[in-house]
Structure 1
Amino acid sequence: MLFGRKKRSIVRVLVVEDEPLIAFDTEHLLSDASYQIVATVDRVAEAIAVLRSDSDVDLVLLDVNLADGSGLDVARAAGERGVAVLFVTGNFPAEAMALAAGCLAKPYQQRDLIGAIEAIEANIAGRKTRRLPTGFRLFAIPDAAPVAPGPEVDAR
């Protein structure tokens, strides 16, 4: 590994958020951090359709309360495909813990979102995380959510 390069297993992200400004900011932040946005959707049905398509997704960034239903349904569909889930919400229900790799409370700082994704990635790889971001809770990775190694990405 070269100095400044980090091999990532989480590269392709599905953003499921029904607040347009938050969705736009999240897309911009993750793209700038060299993540690939598979899609940004605001409905349960659209998110499930992306997960059931041929799209490669490493992580679903998911709000719990969506305009047309519950993000828990999306998390279940992600689990069926072995895709890790990071809930980003102000209202996290206890039953969602079994479906997610972690939860980041809204509102959050941009660096905390990146840190939460990195903590999930480290957890999946069996590495310890020194410090968790503010407002982030890391859960045991559900058995159905291994992340396949992604392409090497320059994470500078």
Structure 2
Amino acid sequence: MRLFGRKKRQLVRLLVVEDEPLVAFDTEHVLTDAEFEVVATVDRVSKAVALIEGDSAIDLVLADVRLADGSGLDVARAARNRDIPVLFLTGTLPPEADGLAEGVLMKPYGPRDLLGAIAAVEEKRTGKAPSRLPSGFRLFAGA
């Protein structure tokens, strides 16, 4: 269904995993302004994995790779086991990340790039080639 030319989103309920408070706040603000539902914003691997493995309905995980209590790669592995796509938002990307996520948006990034990266992941998940890739964003072939 389209309302005023906008198609219905498939990725609506998002989990934000970020241990830098200002980045987490800004990300949540951008997402809620763009009418996404932020299921939770957490700063620990253990909290993220508990939400993923619990009853929370999550459409997409946005995760930093370096977290205070471990690695976002562990969050991505848990999400992958539940067939939940992951978008890494990070400044440092280890080589093994590309088999665990849909893509990466390198820090620092702006609001338009974040929303564009989510849109590109959604297009990829629906079988379409993304029309435009934001600056600092890369889709992975493997995930």
Which category of TM-score, normalised to the shorter sequence, fits these structures?
A: over 0.9
**Contact persistence 1:62–1:85 (CA under 8 A):** yes
Residues 1-156 of structure 1 mapped to structure 2, 5 A cutoff: 1-140=2-141, 142=143
> What are the superposed Cα offsets for residues 62-81 of structure 1, whole Å, 9 maximum, x if unpaired?
00000000111000000000
Q: What SS class does the counterpart of residue 86 from structure 2 fall into?
A: strand
TM-score, L = length of structure 2 = 0.96
Report deviation, 1:129.
Answer: 1.5
SS at match of 2:14: strand
How many angstroms does 1:130 deviate by? 1.9
Q: Which runs of 5+ in 1 are unaligned?
A: 143-156
Amino acid corresponding to residue 73 of structure 2 in structure 1? L
For normalisation by structure 1, the TM-score amounts to: 0.88
Q: Do 1:124 and 1:141's aligned partners in 2 also have CA atoms closer than 8 Å?
A: no
In the aligned structure 2, how far is the partner of 1:55 from the partner of 1:141?
A: 26
Matched residues, number: 142
| Greater RCO (CA < 8 Å, at least 6 residues apart) | 1
Between the aligned partners of 1:141 and 1:31, the Cα distance in structure 2 is: 29
TM-fit CA distance, 1:5: 2.6
List runs of 5+ in structure 2 lacking aligned partners. none
Q: CA RMSD in A?
A: 0.9
Letter in 1 for 2:125: I
Runs (4+) of structure 1 exceeding 3 A deviation are none
* Distance in 2 between residues matched to 1:124 and 1:18, nearest whole Å: 27
Identity of aligned residues (%): 63
